């Protein structure tokens, strides 16, 4: 597969959220606004690229039976780095994303990519794959975040589009499920 | 009374799946049959309780005294991963019948945010060990309740001619959304 | 792809080295970010105090137990040169819609509220969170009011405070927190414990 | 003789049809509709028309253009949804919000699942709860009923519902005795001269409709009886424990959407269980949840939530509580 | 070294080693689980999961192939020879060349040929109608036209022709056999596609004697045996008053077609015959090409 | 439990039984009784007398068939049966009216039964008696109680809960004593001392007639039952009369009961006391548009068209001709089919009243559940069957369904519930059989 393909497949064809239905918790949990969604997406992208690169670097050194734990350690390290850096330099966003930052560790996308792609491919491809997937994730979260923000508080990226409050449901949990459900129905080819 | 409040809060008011968005992947993944959903709930109950105890001990006995709070994510996930596999081995040896019932779900649980999420929440909420365990059990029950109800609905929907585009995940998300909406009625109970 | 074989030795060595490297790099990053994190946390507090008090040069911190609460309040007494310009009180309430929330209230020496700021809360976005000045101008009504004559209760309950629409519970709780700060400050604010 | 027709038995059909049943329910709601027009005037007419019209329109549009299937808006179910949705909102609700409610009820609550008979949740209640949570202010501003025979219809004055008064007062620490002066008496609640949604003000009008449905066998007694019984039992126990804090069962029965919920919404065929035993459990469950929310929850009213929650459990109830089989012994293989 | 880093190293190291030890024992217990070749084969299969191969889904078929160590008798109708060839290459085996098959509807009891005598009302399902009665034309063997075969086809390859009331198979058919199983009357048969898509077959499954058969349907096979006699290749069998042409023996000579007094034998995709009077009208086309 | 109240429409309740003239050609299917088809013992061209054995039931569950007329065997071939399929049958050309020796065709009552238990069963078997209540189960098999089972009650089914049908009703009125004697014989054949006759409360005259005479017959009591369809179903009847419930998948024997139709009791009387095989039966020919509906005593093998002719001919508006009642009867594809032992009525319905209503989605109104006399969930079984979830159809006890049609009758959505259920039963039955083998 060419590198461009590696990069773009994450956006629609193999979009981790809309098509592969991975990483649902952060998707639903932090998509209350476009900014939050994209922030979370970027944090995940960083972890994805980092762990993909490292995994593809060390793939030949790892015995099969400790593959998963080793990958988990690698991933967890990158997550912790994100955690610390965000805490230090973006405390407001960190407070918003809260629990979901450490939970990137268990996001199936990350481990899935490490397993399915990085452990078989070259460093370059893996990096691009990670970037593509991560941005695809960020893209999906951005969309969902925008939808929820527009419907829920009638604003986008913090700018008020209309006066008033919007439909509160979309800021809360039920709205997250409902909005994502319709987005997937809309995007899927049926 | 304190424990009752913790339980009601975790099961109904802040249901782990419907309000906190943890463990959505298995919630969507293993909820197509009531039987599997029951098995999964049992497995999650077991693992969450065990993991919470161990991680709480590690946090208070090792990480806190040594000032290693930042290693929380990486140690917790390693512990959970190792624990799940250990449980698998022991279960297989001690009770093959139980293994048959729960074993297949165990690998799924490693990458389930609910387990890591609850472990971290217990630490964040400054619970003591007993409170932590009650909280963990209550959350697992909340997970089980949501999963059970949900699997019943999905099994039912299987037989209904839901519009093509909505079939499967979209309608499941929509149902989860309305379920979350209904659960909001419990707001303010605690 | 010449994978290494899964011998016991290999496994242990691999995991040991992977965790080792992870520990080393994380320790490193931690050391690098330790300062900024502490800074960021302090900045947040500083900013909150700055918001609720007039400009000051020194700050002095102490705690006091309120008459009707389980946990102590934190007092930040601000001085300019020698004169006290005001006291910021970190107070809380347990009567919020979703449990406890903490706010910072700045009192001028005569007991007048200078300003308020919300530190932490779990109230519902779109409803209760309107008490945060960043979300809605609701809390402006407290500025310049002296609880001595200003009844810190929502109008529904016979007070002077306009409740946030559809979030009376949060509004009530907010008043409760401010009242607690005021009472405690009046009784024990001056003295150190 | 023309061609003979072949089909499996039976060769005759009873007189029940979907339309017959649905319009029977509509007929049963007429008394309550009239009462609401009496108390809320043209506003009530406006709300009901918009709601029913919008429900029909959305169902039509979705069936025709999204599902591209047969259009069945004349079967009466959307009319019921429309009426019940309007019964569940205050009479001064802006039309925009009402449209959203109808769209949610029909679009999300019903058609997304495939339409009549496939939905899990009561569409009207999905619409109502969605609105309640999205627009708490507008949904809880109750105009005070002023019979149209009364002098001059001016701007409506708003006032709280009996349950709102109760919850608010208790939260402030007042006792029931203190509150009793503000609470309407039983006769008022029965006739409907108190604050509330369109369809929940007059218990007597609703009861007339309920009796009609029972007599015509549109609904059976199981769900209403279990619901009613559990509410009376639950509130009765607490009332006996502390009558200064807990209101009596009659108060609970006559206020809020209790009667409406018990007879018209909990009984919705599609979203209630099939076997008599499951129906009893369903009704009792809804009653208990209603009382839990009313007594301890943040919301003064819990009927909508309780029914929705029990709707979710229906598949499990259907699975677990089967009708009593003739000859229970298990077949020998 | 900084103290924090040291502690971190120590605690994580211990944890890592501990996990390694545990996992080692896990590894001891779970020896090789699955043949990796299964995945390879699975990848090559078309993932239609139609069951046409006779196994429950593509993955099961892949397992069977790997376990079998030979491709004899195994065929994926959807992927056809091409896929089997590729699998053979991947596994270093010989693929058996299977003749490509297609579904053939062996009934011509259209509204015109087998007029409707009674009207059916009820669940639209051949299986149910078959249990209930003989059919609208009265032919107890013929197509009921309620489309169970259409419903069963995952490839949209079969549909009911409104004017005849009979199912028609088009080129999308991959010979998965789902319709064969679905038809309660055993009307559909998988037959070799034939050279240039040319096929000759008896389009009738009626086992009644000539008289009763013709009473209901003008184009029924009456079991007269003329075709058997005319066939030079011994390709036609007559059993229970019904002729069947063995595609393995049939050379597509078309002699029988002309011989059949009821036009029950169909020829498909042949060039038009030299005009020989009324014979010019070709039997209805059952497979649409293009 | 369950049940429905379809309009009764007993148009012919007051019409006395008429004897239908013997047709010139009869065709007698070989598979008339439940179980294995009988084997023909005559060949083309043979001359037969009325009452002569023409086909023997050889399997354990199968019954003898006798010629209803005297004449010549035209052919032993296939004829179209009620559903349009071809089934083996014997065609006979009527010639004269010659009966076998020993058959007593006089109307005299013979009260005393001199045969012992075994001889009774043997006679019933010989005379080809099958259940006339619809299922045509060979009656002698019912009397042969397997060892280890204890039967204490004989139940005579005079319910006739199907709308329109009146043949049993007329029989009870016009052959009251014969029915009672037949019952006594059946009691003796079974070796029981108690017989309960169950009759729906809407036939007071039959209740009165039987009740009046029953006193003279020890052990026999007559009971009025609630008017409810399907009160006449074997299991429902047993419960209504004795309070016992036949366990799922078991026979009435399990609860010590044997059920026989009143027509069967009459046929048993004729077989045992008069040596007459089962060659004719009472058939109700009815329908709102018929000019002369009535109850006819008909030879087995008479074409349905002859019956309708006797009742005034086929009205132009006829849409359906049903063999049996409107709830359980089978629609006929042709009027040439013969009357068989199990034909209790011929019902003509016009297009409008027999047309199915438009099918709409199930609204889960639970009416089908509440009317099902077997406590099943028809909506679910139909849904599962449509989804081909045969295992769940089986665990949902589809095999318990007695195909009474109450569910489909009552469904406001007009769903073809019983259509799906029958298919489900057929499939599940196959699966169970395969599993056993
Ligand atoms: C999901 C949900 C969130 C809510 N959040 C808040 C909140 O944050 N603050 C609050 O005061 N009330 C909250 N409420 C409670 C209701 O809005 C409640 O009706 C209101 O506070 C009562 O005030 P009122 O006197 O204005 O009716 C919430 C209710 C729900 C269902
Ligand atoms: C396979 C089979 C075996 C039966 N065996 C007996 C039997 O031994 N004794 C008996 O009294 N009835 C027996 N029956 C008859 C049934 O109890 C029942 O009377 C008969 O099926 C007709 O019932 P229905 O008209 O209600 O359908 C048997 C039925 C079947 C199908
Ligand atoms: C739904 C249903 C209704 C029935 N109604 C009658 C009835 O009204 N009268 C009757 O004699 N048999 C009726 N039967 C048949 C009886 O179940 C039973 O087979 C018969 O009484 C046995 O007697 P037999 O073997 O003498 O026919 C009905 C069966 C079913 C399944
Ligand atoms: C007795 C009865 C009660 C009904 N109750 C409701 C109701 O509460 N809400 C609603 O949207 N539709 C109601 N309907 C209409 C219809 O059944 C409902 O929209 C279905 O859920 C649509 O599938 C009712 C119908 C009947 C017959
Ligand atoms: S027509 Fe029949 S054989 Fe061909 S693809 Fe469809 S179901 Fe399979
Ligand atoms: S070919 Fe068979 S399955 Fe297809 S419509 Fe005809 S009878 Fe039905
Ligand atoms: S399921 Fe069977 S037994 Fe039950 S009502 Fe329907 S036809 Fe009668
Ligand atoms: S009677 Fe009809 S509509 Fe009602 S539940 Fe049964 S199948 Fe559904
Ligand atoms: S992202 Fe939470 S369980 Fe998968």
Rounded mean pLDDT, F306-314: 92
Chain-chain contact of B74 with C97 (C-beta, under 8 angstroms): no
| D130 → closest Cβ in A165, A166, A169 | A169
Chain-chain contact of E26 with A66 (C-beta, under 8 angstroms): no
Closest CA of chain F from B158, distance in Å? 9
Poorest-confidence range of C88-102, D192-206, D208-222, F87-101? D192-206
Closest CA of chain F from D327, distance in Å? 4
Closest CA of chain B from C173, distance in Å? 14
The pLDDT value given to residue D193: 64
Residue B149 has pLDDT above 50, yes or no: yes
Residues of chain A with pLDDT > 70: what percent? 96
Domain assignment present for E223: yes
Poorest-confidence range of A9-13, F382-386, F392-396? A9-13
> CA neighbours within 13 Å on the CB side: how many for C61?
7
Residue C164 has pLDDT above 60, yes or no: yes
C30 touches chain E (CB under 8 A): yes
| B27 CA closest ligand 9 atom index | 3
Domain assignment present for E123: yes
CATH class of this structure's domain F20-94? mainly beta
CATH class of this structure's domain F278-354? alpha beta
Residue E288 binned pLDDT confidence (cut-offs 50, 70, 90):
very low
Domain assignment present for E180: yes
Any atom of ligand 1 within 6 Å of the Cβ of B57 = no
Determine C/E contact with 3+ CB pairs under 8 A as the test. yes
Domain of residue E48, CATH code: 1.10.15.40
More confident residue, F387 or C33: F387
Domain boundaries, chain F: 20-94, 117-274, 278-354, 367-436
Cis preceding linkage at D10, omega within 30: yes
| Max avg pLDDT among B67-81, C46-60, C115-129, E137-151 | E137-151
Would you give the end-to-end CA distance of chain E in angstroms? 77
Same domain, E189 and E234: yes
Same domain, E173 and E249: yes
Q: pLDDT tens digit string along F3-12?
A: 899 999 999 9
E8 touches chain A (CB under 8 A): no
Any atom of ligand 6 within 6 Å of the Cβ of E126 = yes
Mutate to test the interface with C, among D131, D169, D298 (most CBs of C within 10 A): D298
Chain-chain contact of D3 with E117 (C-beta, under 8 angstroms): yes
Q: Tell me the pLDDT of chain F averaged across its residues.
A: 92
Same domain, E180 and E71: no
Size of interface B-F (CB pairs under 8 A): 5
Domain assignment present for C94: yes
Q: Are A126 and A55 in contact (CB under 8 A)?
A: yes
Domain assignment present for C42: no
Provide, as residue numbers in chain C, all residues whose Cβ is less than 8 Å from the Cβ of E4.
27, 30-31
More confident residue, D210 or C86: D210
| F408 CA closest ligand 7 atom index | 6
Residue A29 binned pLDDT confidence (cut-offs 50, 70, 90):
confident
Residue C2 has pLDDT above 60, yes or no: no
The pLDDT value given to residue D332: 39
Provide, as residue numbers in chain A, all residues whose Cβ is less than 8 Å from the Cβ of C40.
87-89, 91
Cα A144 from chain centroid (whole Å):
12
Residue F237 Cα to ligand 3 middle (Å): 9
F75 touches chain E (CB under 8 A): no
F419 touches chain E (CB under 8 A): yes
Residue A165 has pLDDT above 80, yes or no: no
CB atoms closer than 10 angstroms to residue B13: 21
Q: pLDDT tens digit string along D1-30?
A: 568 888 888 999 998 999 999 999 999 999
Number of domains in chain C: 1
3-class state of residue F213 by DSSP: helix
Rounded mean pLDDT, F328-338: 90
Chain-chain contact of D137 with C127 (C-beta, under 8 angstroms): no
Nearest C-alpha to atom 25 of ligand 1 is from which residue? Answer: C168
Same domain, E70 and E119: no
**Chain F residue with Cα closest to B161:** F361
Q: Tell me the pLDDT of chain E averaged across its residues.
A: 82
CB atoms closer than 10 angstroms to residue B42: 16
| C166 → closest Cβ in D136, D171, D172 | D136
The pLDDT value given to residue D277: 93
Residue E281 binned pLDDT confidence (cut-offs 50, 70, 90):
very low
Range of the domain at C175: 52-188
Question: Taking CA A28 as the corner, what is the angle to CA A27 and CA A33, rounded to the nearest 5 degrees?
Answer: 85
Determine D/E contact with 3+ CB pairs under 8 A as the test. yes
| Spatial separation of the C-alpha atoms in residues C101 and C114, rounded to whole Å | 20
Enumerate residues lining ligand 9, CB below 6 A. A 23-25, 107-108; B 23-25, 112-113
D324 touches chain F (CB under 8 A): yes
The token pair at D254 is 């006559």
Q: pLDDT tens digit string along E246-255?
A: 988 888 888 8
B81 touches chain C (CB under 8 A): no
Poorest-confidence range of B186-190, E264-268, F247-251? B186-190
Poorest-confidence range of C88-92, F119-123, F304-308? C88-92
C157 touches chain D (CB under 8 A): yes
Provide, as residue numbers in chain C, all residues whose Cβ is less than 8 Å from the Cβ of B181.
none
Residue B102 binned pLDDT confidence (cut-offs 50, 70, 90):
low
Q: What is the largest CA-CA distance in chain D?
A: 83
Chain-chain contact of E19 with A66 (C-beta, under 8 angstroms): yes
Rounded mean pLDDT, E233-252: 90
Mutate to test the interface with D, among F80, F361, F379 (most CBs of D within 10 A): F361
Residues of chain A with pLDDT > 90: what percent? 11
Nearest C-alpha to atom 8 of ligand 7 is from which residue? Answer: F404
Residue E95 has pLDDT above 80, yes or no: no
Chain C (15-54) residues lying within 8 Å, Cβ to Cβ, of chain B? 19, 22-23, 26, 30
Residue F296 Cα to ligand 3 middle (Å): 20
Chain-chain contact of F322 with D11 (C-beta, under 8 angstroms): yes
Instruction: Please classify residue F358 by burial: count the beta carbons closer than 10 Å to its beta carbon, then call 0-12 exposed, 13-18 middle and 19+ buried.
Output: exposed
Any atom of ligand 5 within 6 Å of the Cβ of E153 = yes
Residue D161 Cα to ligand 1 middle (Å): 16
CB atoms closer than 10 angstroms to residue D154: 7
Closest CA of chain C from E94, distance in Å? 28
Chain-chain contact of A65 with E24 (C-beta, under 8 angstroms): yes
Nearest C-alpha to atom 1 of ligand 3 is from which residue? Answer: F404
Domain boundaries, chain A: 3-147
Boundary of a domain, candidates E72, E91, E110: E91
Mutate to test the interface with B, among E13, E23, E33, E156 (most CBs of B within 10 A): E23
CB atoms closer than 10 angstroms to residue A123: 15
**Chain E residue with Cα closest to C27:** E5
| F412 → closest Cβ in D2, D18, D322 | D18
Domain assignment present for C134: yes
The pLDDT value given to residue E280: 41
- The pTM of the full predicted model, rounded to 2 decimals, is 0.88
The pLDDT value given to residue D148: 59
Rounded mean pLDDT, B25-44: 83
Chain-chain contact of C15 with E19 (C-beta, under 8 angstroms): yes
Per DSSP, the residues of chain E read --HHHHHHHHHHHHHHHHHHHHHHHHHHHS---S-HHHHHHHHHS------TTSSSHHHHHHHHHHHHSS-TT---TTTHHHHHHHHHHHHT-PPP-PPPEEEEE-----TTTS---EEE-S-S-HHHHHHH-S-TTS-SSS---S-HHHHH-TTS-EEEETTTTEEEEETT-----HHHHH-TT--EEEEE--GGG-EEEE-----S-HHHHHHH-TT------HHHHH-TT--EEEETTEEEE-TTT-----HHHHH-TT--EEEESPPPPPP-GGGGSPPPP-EE--
| A172 CA closest ligand 1 atom index | 1
Domain assignment present for C37: no
Residue E35 binned pLDDT confidence (cut-offs 50, 70, 90):
low
Range of the domain at E220: 101-268
Rounded mean pLDDT, E266-283: 63
The CATH architecture that domain F117-274 belongs to is 3-Layer(aba) Sandwich (3.40)
């Amino acid at each position: 597969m060419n590198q461009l393909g590696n990069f773009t497949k994450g956006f629609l064809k193999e979009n981790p959220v809309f098509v592969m239905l991975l990483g649902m918790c952060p998707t639903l949990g932090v998509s209350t606004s476009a900014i939050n969604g994209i922030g979370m997406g970027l944090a995940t992208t960083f972890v994805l690229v980092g762990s993909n690169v490292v995994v593809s670097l060390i793939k030949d050194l790892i015995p099969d039976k400790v593959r998963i734990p080793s990958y988990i350690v690698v991933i967890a390290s990158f997550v912790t780095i994100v955690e610390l850096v965000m805490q230090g330099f973006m405390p407001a966003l960190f407070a918003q994303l809260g629990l979901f930052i450490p939970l990137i560790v268990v996001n199936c996308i990350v481990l899935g990519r490490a397993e399915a792609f990085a452990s078989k491919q070259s460093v370059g491809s893996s990096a691009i794959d990670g970037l593509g997937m991560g941005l695809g994730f960020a893209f999906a979260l951005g969309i969902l975040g925008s939808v929820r923000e527009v419907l829920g508080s009638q604003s986008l990226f913090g700018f008020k589009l209309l006066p008033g409050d919007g439909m509160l449901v979309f800021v809360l949990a039920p709205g997250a499920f409902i909005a994502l459900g319709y987005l997937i129905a809309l995007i899927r080819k049926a | 009374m304190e424990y009752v409040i913790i339980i009601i809060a975790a099961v109904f008011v802040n249901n782990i799946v419907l309000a906190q968005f943890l463990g959505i992947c298995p919630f969507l993944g293993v909820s197509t049959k009531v039987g599997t959903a029951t098995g999964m709930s049992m497995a999650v109950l077991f693992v969450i309780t065990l993991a919470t105890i161990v991680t709480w001990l590690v946090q208070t006995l090792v990480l806190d005294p040594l000032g290693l709070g930042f290693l929380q994510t990486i140690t917790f996930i390693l512990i959970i991963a190792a624990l799940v596999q250990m449980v698998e081995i022991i279960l297989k040896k001690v009770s093959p019948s139980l293994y048959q019932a729960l074993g297949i779900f165990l690998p799924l649980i490693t990458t389930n945010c609910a387990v890591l999420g609850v472990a971290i929440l217990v630490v964040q909420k400054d619970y003591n060990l007993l409170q932590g365990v009650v909280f963990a059990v209550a959350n697992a029950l909340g997970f089980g309740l949501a999963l059970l109800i949900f699997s019943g609905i999905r099994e039912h929907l299987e037989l209904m001619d839901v519009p093509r585009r909505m079939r499967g995940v979209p309608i499941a998300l929509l149902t989860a959304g309305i379920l979350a909406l209904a659960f909001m009625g419990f707001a303010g109970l605690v | 792809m010449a994978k290494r074989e899964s011998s016991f030795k290999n496994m242990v060595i691999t995991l040991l080295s992977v965790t080792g490297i992870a520990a080393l790099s994380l320790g490193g990053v931690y050391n690098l970010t330790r300062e900024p994190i502490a800074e960021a946390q302090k900045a947040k507090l500083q900013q909150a105090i700055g918001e609720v008090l007039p400009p000051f040069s020194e700050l002095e911190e102490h705690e006091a137990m309120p008459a009707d609460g389980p946990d102590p309040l934190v007092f930040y007494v601000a001085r300019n040169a020698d004169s006290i310009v005001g006291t910021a009180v970190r107070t809380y309430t347990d009567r919020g819609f979703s449990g406890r929330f903490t706010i910072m209230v700045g009192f001028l020496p005569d007991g007048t509220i200078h300003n308020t700021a919300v530190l932490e809360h779990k109230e519902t976005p779109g409803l209760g969170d309107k008490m945060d000045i960043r979300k809605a101008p609701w809390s402006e009504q407290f500025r310049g009011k002296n609880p001595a004559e200003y009844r810190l209760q929502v109008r529904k309950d016979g007070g002077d405070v306009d409740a946030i629409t559809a979030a009376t519970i949060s509004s009530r709780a907010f008043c409760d927190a401010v009242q607690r700060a005021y009472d405690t400050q009046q009784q024990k604010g001056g003295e150190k414990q | 003789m023309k061609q003979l027709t072949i089909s499996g038995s039976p060769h005759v059909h009873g007189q029940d049809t979907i339309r017959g049943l649905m319009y029977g329910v509509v007929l049963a709601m007429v008394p309550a509709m009239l009462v609401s027009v009496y108390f809320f005037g043209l506003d009530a007419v406006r709300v009901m028309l918009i709601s029913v019209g919008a429900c029909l329109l959305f169902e039509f549009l979705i069936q025709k253009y999204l599902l591209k299937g047969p259009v069945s808006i004349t079967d009466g179910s959307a009319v019921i949804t429309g009426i019940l949705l309007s019964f569940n909102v205050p009479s001064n609700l802006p039309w925009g919000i009402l449209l959203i409610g109808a769209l949610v009820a029909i679009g999300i609550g019903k058609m997304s699942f495939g339409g009549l008979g496939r939905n899990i949740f009561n569409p009207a209640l999905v619409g109502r709860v969605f609105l309640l949570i999205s627009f708490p202010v507008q949904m809880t501003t109750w105009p005070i009923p002023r019979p149209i025979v009364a002098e001059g219809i001016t701007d409506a004055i708003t006032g709280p519902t009996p349950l709102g008064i109760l919850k608010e007062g208790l939260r402030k620490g007042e006792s029931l005795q203190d509150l009793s002066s503000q609470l309407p008496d039983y006769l008022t609640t029965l006739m409907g001269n108190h604050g509330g949604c369109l369809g929940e003000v007059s218990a007597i009008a609703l009861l007339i409709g309920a009796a009609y449905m029972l007599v015509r066998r549109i609904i059976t007694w199981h769900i209403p009886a279990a619901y009613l019984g559990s509410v009376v039992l639950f509130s009765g126990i607490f009332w006996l424990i502390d009558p200064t804090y807990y209101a009596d069962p009659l108060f609970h029965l006559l206020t809020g959407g209790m009667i409406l919920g018990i007879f018209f919404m909990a009984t919705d065929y599609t979203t209630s269980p099939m076997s008599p035993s499951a129906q009893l459990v369903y009704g009792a469950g809804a009653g208990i949840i209603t009382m839990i929310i009313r007594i301890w929850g943040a919301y003064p009213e819990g009927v909508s939530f309780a029914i929705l929650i029990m709707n979710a459990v229906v598949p499990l109830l259907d699975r677990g509580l089967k009708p009593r089989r003739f000859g229970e012994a298990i077949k020998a293989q | 070294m900084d103290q924090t880093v040291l502690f971190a190293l120590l605690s994580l190291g211990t944890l890592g080693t501990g996990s390694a030890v545990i996992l080692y024992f896990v590894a001891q217990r779970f020896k090789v689980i699955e043949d990796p070749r299964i995945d390879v084969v699975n990848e090559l299969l078309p993932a239609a999961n139609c069951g046409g191969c006779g196994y429950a889904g593509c993955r099961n078929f892949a397992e069977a192939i790997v376990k079998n160590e030979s491709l004899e008798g195994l065929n994926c109708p959807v992927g056809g020879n091409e896929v089997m060839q590729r699998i053979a290459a991947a596994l270093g085996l010989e693929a058996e060349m299977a003749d490509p098959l297609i579904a053939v509807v062996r009934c011509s009891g259209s509204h015109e040929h087998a007029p409707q005598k009674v009207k059916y009302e009820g669940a639209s399902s051949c299986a149910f109608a078959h249990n209930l009665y003989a059919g609208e034309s009265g032919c107890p063997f013929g197509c009921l036209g309620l489309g169970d075969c259409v419903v069963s086809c995952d490839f949209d390859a079969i549909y009911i022709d409104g004017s005849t009331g009979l199912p028609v198979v088009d080129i999308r058919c991959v010979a998965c056999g789902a319709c064969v199983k679905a038809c309660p009357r055993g009307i559909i048969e998988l037959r070799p596609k034939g050279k240039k898509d040319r096929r000759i077959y008896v389009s009738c499954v009626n086992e009644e004697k000539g008289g009763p058969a013709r009473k209901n349907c003008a184009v029924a096979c009456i079991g007269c045996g003329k075709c058997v006699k005319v066939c030079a290749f011994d390709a036609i069998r007559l059993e229970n008053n019904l002729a069947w042409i063995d595609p393995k023996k049939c050379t597509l000579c078309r002699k029988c077609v002309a011989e059949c007094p009821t036009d029950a034998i169909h020829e498909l995709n042949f060039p038009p015959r030299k005009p020989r009077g009324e014979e010019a009208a070709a039997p209805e086309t059952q497979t649409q090409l293009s | 439990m369950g049940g429905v109240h379809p309009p009764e429409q007993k148009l012919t309740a007051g019409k006395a039984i008429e004897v239908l003239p013997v047709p010139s050609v009869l065709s007698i299917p070989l598979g008339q009784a439940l179980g294995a088809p009988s084997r023909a013992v005559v060949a083309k061209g043979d001359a037969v007398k009325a009452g002569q054995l023409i086909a023997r039931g050889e399997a354990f569950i199968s019954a003898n068939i006798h010629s209803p007329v005297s004449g010549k065997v035209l052919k032993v071939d296939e004829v179209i049966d009620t559903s349009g399929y071809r089934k083996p049958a014997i065609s006979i050309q009527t010639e004269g009216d010659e009966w076998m020796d020993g058959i007593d065709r006089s109307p005299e009552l013979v009260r005393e039964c001199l045969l012992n238990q075994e001889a009774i069963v043997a006679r019933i078997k010989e005379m080809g008696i099958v259940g006339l209540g619809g299922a045509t189960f060979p009656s002698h098999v019912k009397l042969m109680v397997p060892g280890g089972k204890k039967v204490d009650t004989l139940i005579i089914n005079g319910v006739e809960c199907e709308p329109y049908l009146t043949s049993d009703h007329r029989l009870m009125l016009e052959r009251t004593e014969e029915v009672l004697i037949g019952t006594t014989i059946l009691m003796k054949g079974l070796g029981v001392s108690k017989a309960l006759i169950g009759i729906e409360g809407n036939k007071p005259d039959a209740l009165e007639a039987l009740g009046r005479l029953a006193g003279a017959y020890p052990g026999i009591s007559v009971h009025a039952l609630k008017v409810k369809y399907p009160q006449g179903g074997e299991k429902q009847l047993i419960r209504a009369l004795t309070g016992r419930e036949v366990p799922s998948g078991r026979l009435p024997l399990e609860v010590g009961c044997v059920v026989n139709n009143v027509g069967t009791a009459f046929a048993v009387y004729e077989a045992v006391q008069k040596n007459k095989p089962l060659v004719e039966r009472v058939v109700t020919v009815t329908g709102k548009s018929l000019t002369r509906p009535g109850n006819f005593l008909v030879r087995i093998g008479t074409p349905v068209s002859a019956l309708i002719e006797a009742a005034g001919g086929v009205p132009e508006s006829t849409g359906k001709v049903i063999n049996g009642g409107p709830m359980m009867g089978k629609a006929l594809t042709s009027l040439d089919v013969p009357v068989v032992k199990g034909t209790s009525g011929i019902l003509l319905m016009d297009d409008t009243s027999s047309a199915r209503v438009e099918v709409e989605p199930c609204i889960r109104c639970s009416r089908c559940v509440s009317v099902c006399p077997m406590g099943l969930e028809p909506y679910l079984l139909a849904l599962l069957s449509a989804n081909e979830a045969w295992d769940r159809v089986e665990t949902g006890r589809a095999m318990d369904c007695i195909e009474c049609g109450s569910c489909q009758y009552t469904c406001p959505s007009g769903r073809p519930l019983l259509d799906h259920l029958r298919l489900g039963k057929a499939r599940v039955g196959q699966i169970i059989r395969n599993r056993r083998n």
